[in-house]
Structure 1
Amino acid sequence: MNSHYTYYIILAASLAGPLALSFDKKVAFYKRWKYLVIPMFIPAALYVAWDSFFTKEGVWWFNEKYITGHHLFGLPIEEILFFFVVPYCCVFVYECIRCYFPNLKKKVWGDRVLQLIAVLSIIAGAVFYDKYYTSWTFFFLGIFIGMVYVWKSWFKGFDAVSFVVSYIIILVPFLIVNGFLTAIPVVLYNDAENLGIRMYTIPFEDTFYGMLLIMMNVALYERVLKREQFKMVNSRNKL
């Protein structure tokens, strides 16, 4: 096998299961693909800009042995695809949780968990302000969670409990994928810009970097979904 396709193979393996199961009759996630397109592009654009800047600054870099060498915005094409493949898989898991456990939503403890994470994230970002990866990850996560609650009416489709439970489940495959990327290694990190704490070979910050990415996708997906449902209800009422 040509090692230059390693990153592509990891992405394809990650996508295969959720994509196939998207046609499950109960979840029928394929019917909601149209609501996911725009929500996926907005976080992806932000993450590409973030990733590109960090790559330029040497916060992390990519092992040329395991990528094809095709770049866009200063990043390997595979890395850009990561910001679409992983969110797709994670939103699929979120939809499964919503579908199979409809009574799970609207529990107060979910809001409390996210609000606590937001406060601790802002504090961590301030304490470790001199470390790019640590400070940016925690600041951005804390700020976005705050936005969800400050503009609760705009994000009214977002359910904290469903997200928290989904993310706990998502952490298993997310850490496996990141484990491959960091152990091979496809991605290498400058430990001067992070806490230096590893879960196997995965930087501690990756867990929260991923949480922010998935939360943005889920919150925006729910926003689009609720807006479309509102339009459909209005249309029926006019008939």
Structure 2
Amino acid sequence: MQAAQFTYAALLLGTIAIPLALSFDRKVHFYTHWKYLFPAILVSAAVFLMWDVHFTDAGIWSFNPDYVTGYGYLGLPVEEWLFFLCIPYASLFIYEVMKAYLPRLEMPNLMLALSLFIIAGSAAISYFHRAQLYTFFNFLFLAIYLGYTIFRNRFKAHLTKFYLCFLIGLLPFLIVNGILTGLPVVEYHPEHILGLRIFHIPVEDFGYFFLLLLMNTTIYETLKEGKYY
């Protein structure tokens, strides 16, 4: 096995290493939320993995065997399965850090207006680009789930921290996904994306990251506030 085949795995390890090490920080004490975190990750992962399996099987995207270990299941490399554990874990760690260190930073009405703009923009993109399947489904799902979140009106108190977490998370996202799409580890069929890229990253991936983070965060907060266990 060549060293390059550990590229995807190394990126995931680098993503989760610091958040995992700092999970026992006295102010954040992220480890105390694991009982809500991991069920949220599992539910979200189930949704995204079904999407991932279908799109891989349809040839909408694929994985370069030169940069993965070769182990996998249902057509996905094991690294892709771990992606839906490592990325949400690191992202929700950032989210809890924001809550712990910036408790008074709240702009719910501004964030609500921003959310409505994103819903409208995502719906429009999905409608006008129905032929590009990744573009269509990505922005359609984003518009529907964000719309459900906003109009359900139970997440408004968390919107500011969510958007701040998303903005901060864009930095590691640009690094990790820039490498994944630049080498490339992940390859996209040109007929199913807009073709607009930022640092080699298809613009659709930014919506994908937003939706992944939103789904994990809303489920996580629902479990925490419901105190089901």
Distance, in Å, in 2 between the alignment partners of 1:97 and 1:106 is 14
Q: Look up the equivalent residue of 2:174 and give its one-letter code.
A: L
The answer (yes or no) to whether the contact 1:157–1:226 under 8 Å persists in 2 is: no
| Match of residue 10 from structure 2 | 9
2: CA distance, partners of 1:182 / 1:112: 32
For residues 115 and 85 of structure 1, the distance between their equivalents in structure 2, rounded to whole angstroms, comes to 29
How far residue 70 of structure 1 moved from its aligned partner, in angstroms, is 1.3
The residue matched to 1:108 in structure 2 has which SS?
A: helix
- In the alignment, does 2:120 pair up with 1:113? no
TM-score with structure 2 length normalisation? 0.95
Gaps of 5+ in 2: none
Moved over 2 A (4+): 149-152, 155-158
Distance 2:72 2:157 in 1: 35
In structure 1, the partner of 2:136 is 135
Query: 106-115 vs 12-21, which deviates more?
Result: 106-115
**Identity over aligned residues, as a percent?**
38
Q: Tell me the CA shift for residue 156 of structure 1.
A: 4.2
Q: Which residue of 2 aligns with 1:64?
A: 65
- Distance, in Å, in 2 between the alignment partners of 1:186 and 1:156 is 35
The answer to whether the Cα contact below 8 Å between 2:108 and 2:157 also exists between their aligned partners in 1 is no
Query: 1:87 touches 1:214 (CA, 8 Å); kept in 2?
Result: yes
Partner of 2:105: 104
**Scaled by the length of structure 1, what TM-score is found?**
0.91
Asked whether the 8 Å contact 1:157–1:219 carries over to 2, the reply is: no
Aligned to 2:178: 179
Q: Give the superposition deviation at 1:12.
A: 0.4
Instruction: Indicate conservation of the 8 Å contact 1:158/1:219, yes or no.
Output: no
**Matched-pair contact (CA < 8 Å) for 1:63–1:185:** yes
Aligned to 2:220: 221
Structure 1 match to 2:31? 30
SS in 2 for 1:103: coil
| Cα distance in 2 between the residues matched to 1:66 and 1:199 | 21
Cα-to-partner distance string for 1:156-214 (whole Å, 9 max, x where unaligned): 47611111111111111111110111112111111211110111211111111000000
List gaps (5 residues or longer) in structure 1.
Answer: 233-239
Return the letter of the residue paired with 1:145. L
Tell me if the contact between 2:130 and 2:136 (Cα under 8 Å) persists in the aligned partners.
yes
The CA RMSD over aligned residues, in Å, is 1.5
Q: How many residue pairs get matched? A: 228
- Alpha-carbon distance in 1 for matches of 2:157, 2:6: 37
Is the 1:4–1:66 Cα contact (8 Å) retained in structure 2?
yes
Where 2:104 maps in the other structure, the secondary structure is helix
User: Which residue does 1:79 correspond to in 2?
Assistant: 80
Opposite residue 189 of structure 1, the aligned amino acid is Y
Counterpart-to-counterpart distance in 2, 1:9 and 1:212 = 24
